[in-house]
Amino acid sequence: MRLRSDNDNSEINDLRAFADWILKIGEGRLNEPNDGEAEVEFRNDLLLKSGSNAVETIVSSTYPSLHDHLTDPQFFQDRAILATTNEEVDSINEHNLSSIPGAERVYYSSDSLCPDEENDVFAQQLYSTKTLNTLKVPSVPNHCDNREISNQI
């Protein structure tokens, strides 16, 4: 995380205090001693007032005027949404992608291992297509079955 400020000393001190607070939360050192659970109070200016759709509130707050900046890579490089689970990440990504105009393209992967003379039965079971398709890897789209796409059309 990068925190930026002007050269105003009070702003620098505020940013330093905020950065220390964030680090203490991340390292579990806030409200010590604790047993791994602690209550964290957030300042009102850090909270988003959610309407009926929390994902929409987070996205519109993080990416204001998204459609005006679709071709500006710097706009996306300067922003990030952190989530605690892959399911939340998928939900946010799905929301963002559904709001971007244009036709959707789906690229399919090959669902087999390369033939190898060392491929034994154990390796085939360990790296079965079914197992490989369940993996969720950062920066790689989740597996999408042809049947899932044809059901959506």
In tens, the pLDDT along 84-117 reads 888 888 889 889 888 888 887 777 766 666 666 5
Residues 18 and 54 both lie in one domain: no
- Distances in Å between the Cα of 9 and the Cα atoms of 5, 18, 23 are 9, 14, 21
Residue whose structure tokens are 């790689």: 140
Half-sphere exposure in the Cβ direction for 49 (13 Å, CA): 2
Paired tokens of 13: 């001190």
Question: What are φ and ψ of residue 12, in 5° steps?
Answer: -60, -45
Residues 24-42 have pLDDT tens digits of 888 888 887 877 777 888 8
CA 118 vs CA 112, 114, 130: distances in Å: 15, 11, 20
Question: Do 61 and 48 meet the contact criterion of CB atoms below 8 Å apart?
Answer: yes
The total of structural domains in the chain comes to 3
Within this chain, do residues 55 and 40 fall inside the same structural domain, yes or no?
no
Q: Which domain holds residue 141?
A: 108-153
